[in-house]
Amino acid sequence: MNEIINVNSEITDASTLTYQVGLMNNKLKEVTEDQAAKIMHALSSPNMPKFIQIGDEMFATHQITDVSKRSTYLDSTVDSTVHSTYKQEVINKNTKVINKKEEIGKENEDRGKAFLARWNEAHKTKYTAWKPISENLEYWLEQYTPEQILQAVKNLALDDFWKDKMTPTIFLRQKNRHGEAVDYIGQLSQKKRRAVVGL
């Protein structure tokens, strides 16, 4: 029994590499028809060698999983088609995501500007920067109706502590500077005018 069989044959150019040898690590080694025949004969022999030498490389026979004819035209056509289709799908998906982000961004801008317009109207201020409040405004719009939020904005004037200190950014915060959850909207939307009782 031979320990090693050498299947080398003279290769005139790359176009003669019309077969491929599949290996356990999912790699392929291209070989000539003559080499493929020698490998298949060695693998089917009752005295199968432990190693097969292909060119300068040595492979254990148990590493070889397949010997097959390769179709370069089919490979390149399939690869090209799959790549082209996949690339177009990625482009389409990215375009949809960008369009959706632009649409959401425009909606956020509109809501942010509308909120600041109401705030400025109620408190005689001139806030215009909607981006810093956008994320928190979206959060609170999931918790409260726009009417409840606007009522809290109006009721701010009734709060002795916050009426001179509150800004849109503080008003829409989800946590205070100590990291504790806050809900100024819920707190202020429930505020009622106190009746003035006698002097």
- What average pLDDT does range 76-91 have in this prediction? 57
| Residues 69, 32: Cα–Cα separation, whole Å | 9
Whether the CB-CB separation of 61 and 51 falls below 8 Å is answered with yes
Whether the pLDDT of residue 198 is over 50: the answer is: no
- pLDDT for residue 74: 44
- What average pLDDT does range 156-169 have in this prediction? 84
- pLDDT for residue 78: 46
Whether the pLDDT of residue 93 is over 80: the answer is: no
DSSP string for residues in the chain: --SEEE------SGGG--EEEEETTS-EEEE-HHHHHHHHHHHHSTT--SEEEETTEEEEGGGEEEEEE--HHHHHHHHHHHHHHHHHHHHHHHHHHHHHHHHHHHHHHHHHHHHHHHHHHHHT------HHHHHHHHHHHHHS-HHHHHHHHHHGGG-TTTTTT--HHHHT-SB-TTS-B--HHHHHHT--PPPP---
- pLDDT for residue 168: 92
- pLDDT for residue 47: 79
pLDDT tens, 14-69?
Answer: 556 677 777 777 777 788 888 888 888 777 777 778 888 887 788 787 777 777 77
Tokens 């408190």 sit on residue: 123
Lowest mean pLDDT among 17-26, 72-81, 185-194: 72-81
- pLDDT for residue 119: 87
Whether the pLDDT of residue 104 is over 80: the answer is: no
pLDDT tens, 109-152?
Answer: 888 888 888 888 888 888 888 888 888 888 988 899 889 988 88
Whether the pLDDT of residue 194 is over 60: the answer is: no
pTM above 0.75, yes or no: no
Whether the pLDDT of residue 95 is over 80: the answer is: no
Strand order in the sheet with 64-69: 28-31, 19-23, 64-69
- pLDDT for residue 12: 54
124 dihedral zone (left: phi>0; alpha: psi -120 to 50; beta): left
- pLDDT for residue 128: 87
143 or 4, greater pLDDT: 143
| Residues 77, 63: Cα–Cα separation, whole Å | 29
- pLDDT for residue 181: 92
Q: What are phi and psi of 189, to 5 degrees?
A: -70, -20
